[in-house]
Amino acid sequence: MGFWQDIRLRFDKLNSLEKIIAINVVFFVLPFILSTVFFLFKTSISGWFNYVELSANIKTTIFRPWTILSYGFFHASFGHIFWNMMLLYISGGLMLNLFKEKLLLNSFFVGIMAGGFTYLIAYNVFPVFSAVEGSLIGSSAGVMAVLIFMASYMPNSPIRVLVFSVPLKYIALLFIFIDLVQIPQSNAGGHVAHLGGALWGYIYQRQFLQGNDIGAWFMNGFDSIKKTLSSKPRRKRPKTARKTTATDAVDQKKIDAILDKIASSGYESLTKAEKGYLFRAGKQ
């Protein structure tokens, strides 16, 4: 087995959360390796970053539409990527314990886009940014979307911080507070984007509780493109009827009652049986 084939097989075994983290790490390390290679060959690659970061200039962004998403895969420093991936690992892990992987992907990637659009709007509407030529990188908006989704869904879930257990809602509120007060201090564009991602996470969660998966368009679109580009036509297999058993059936009234209980008293108020039922329903 070749080296790259082995890497691909290992990557395929990862879940969606682990793949997101792995891709971010690769895109963080890759520029340093390329810089060394180009240096040895006396070649410069300066300016390439302009084609992946999100520019505050709307005209530039129109001609580089991919940057509304690509900016989320690059980070400015080790601390930047470390804390982003750590927070994503915690909040994303909570999400995968209850929901399908597509919900995580929709939350994260649409969160990055929501943060990017919020950044563009802020820099082209508010007078304080009128003379600023800004650019944006980092996955923080997507991370905030996942964090706020889960903090809204299960606010009292305890998170271990050193020797203390802190309810998830307080961690989320702390990050939102930091972003708000830091806007006039430094990295205003980054903090604005974080808040845009957080807003998406909250709206997505509220709509999801009502049965509206408003973020499903992202992975549905991705799957459609992937299917279109697939070079190998698949044979249609004969459909086999599957009987729905009492165990498989989902009682929507029971689900609604559980969701109402979460909305009024929090996730931790559920019984073990209710949590198990909600988990099984989320996987169907």
Burial of 23 (0-12, 13-18, 19+ CB in 10 A): middle
Q: How far is CA 188 from CA 30, 50, 135, 198, in A?
A: 27, 19, 11, 15
- For residue 57, what are the contacts with CB-CB under 8 A and spacing of at least 6? 133
Query: Could you give the CA distance from residue 50 to residue 65 in angstroms, rounded to a whole number?
Result: 12
Res. 143: pLDDT tops 60? yes
Side-chain-side CA neighbours of 230 within 13 Å: the count stands at 11
Please provide the average confidence, as pLDDT, over all residues in the chain.
Answer: 86
Read off the pTM: 0.80
Task: Confirm if 151 and 89 have CB atoms less than 8 A apart.
Answer: no
Residue-level pLDDT at 233: 53
Residue-level pLDDT at 60: 93
- Taken in order of first residue, the domains within the chain and their CATH numbers are 3-222 (1.20.1540.10)
Q: How far is CA 193 from CA 113, 149, 196, 223, in A?
A: 9, 16, 5, 27
Q: What is the pLDDT of residues 213-256, one digit of tens each?
A: 999 999 999 889 888 887 555 555 555 554 444 444 556 777 77
Residue-level pLDDT at 246: 43
Q: How confident is the model at residue 261 (pLDDT cuts 50, 70, 90)?
A: confident
Q: What is the pLDDT of residues 70-123, one digit of tens each?
A: 999 999 899 999 999 999 999 999 999 999 999 999 999 999 999 999 999 999
Task: Confirm if 53 and 68 have CB atoms less than 8 A apart.
Answer: no
Residue-level pLDDT at 259: 75
